[in-house]
Amino acid sequence: MNATDTYKTLSFPSEEILFKEKNSKFFGYAFPVTSEEEIKNHLDVLRKKHHGAVHFCYAYQIGTDKIQFRANDDGEPSNSAGAPIYGQIQSFGITNILVVVVRFFGGVKLGVGGLISAYKTSAQMALEASEIIEKTIDIHYIVAFDYKNMNKVMRVIKEKNLQIISQNMKETCEIEIATRKKNAEIIFDIFTTLFEIDIKLKD
């Protein structure tokens, strides 16, 4: 469990950065992501843009409590590319992030030490060219109630400054609300004590 209910991520994709080492060119990119599908799309776009490149090395991390991560060397010697890129993600303390470094080989071998240094520097430059923001970890609930209890529910939402994500107003009403993780238990308890109102975690 996180002791905090905030995390750091990117506000939008970084600018393209270029790092040169012994005629090899390393293009670095950082993207905010929340799914593996988004990651695949970004990689597809970069492969089309840099179709002459030899290696598309990357690392990503998704999630706050349950972390998903991967480091990919894409044909470079083991742990010489993906791991140093992922090391920079950890160093900056960010999540929901993809960092890609595209390498054009310049004819001179850099050796494992040179590769580690080049990929680390490229990832660092891409992240330094990004705007890093802090976001709250939100918990989503579904509140279900009869229309006659609408005022009761809306009063809590207003008093506790809850975010309404979606609402379905029929004979039985359903509202999806979001609250900061640190307030989630209190909000759940408030709705639980209200008569004729059901609350459950959103799946």
DSSP string over 106-159: -SS--HHHHHHHHHHHHHHHHHHTS-EEEEE-EEEEEEEEEGGGHHHHHHHHHH
Supply the pLDDT for residue 4.
77
How does residue 200 score in pLDDT terms, banded at 50, 70 and 90? very high
Q: Are 123 and 17 in contact (CB under 8 A)?
A: no
Is 107 in the same domain as 144?
no
Summarize pLDDT for 60-100 with one digit per residue, the tens: 999 988 899 999 999 999 999 999 999 999 999 999 999 99
In a domain, 195, yes or no: yes
Using a 10 angstrom Cβ sphere, with 0-12 exposed, 13-18 middle and 19 or more buried, the burial of residue 190 is middle
What's the pLDDT score for residue 71? Answer: 97
Question: What single-letter amino acid sits at 191?
Answer: F
| CA–CA distance, 79 with 144 (Å, rounded to integer) | 50
Whether 115 and 159 map to the same domain: the answer is no
Instruction: For 40-51, write each residue's pLDDT tens digit.
Output: 999 999 999 998
Answer yes or no: do 28 and 87 share one domain.
yes
Count of domains in the chain? 2
In a domain, 1, yes or no: no
My answer on whether 59 and 154 are in the same domain is no
> 132-177: per-residue pLDDT in tens?
999 999 999 999 999 889 899 999 999 999 999 999 887 789 999 9
> Does 93 share its domain with 159?
no
Q: Are residues 100 and 142 in the same domain?
A: no
Q: Which of 113, 135, 157 is the last residue of a domain?
A: 135
Domain final residue pick, 135, 168, 193: 135
Has residue 194 been placed in a domain? Answer: yes
Domain that holds residue 125: 6-135
Indicate which CATH number applies to the domain containing 55. 3.30.230.30
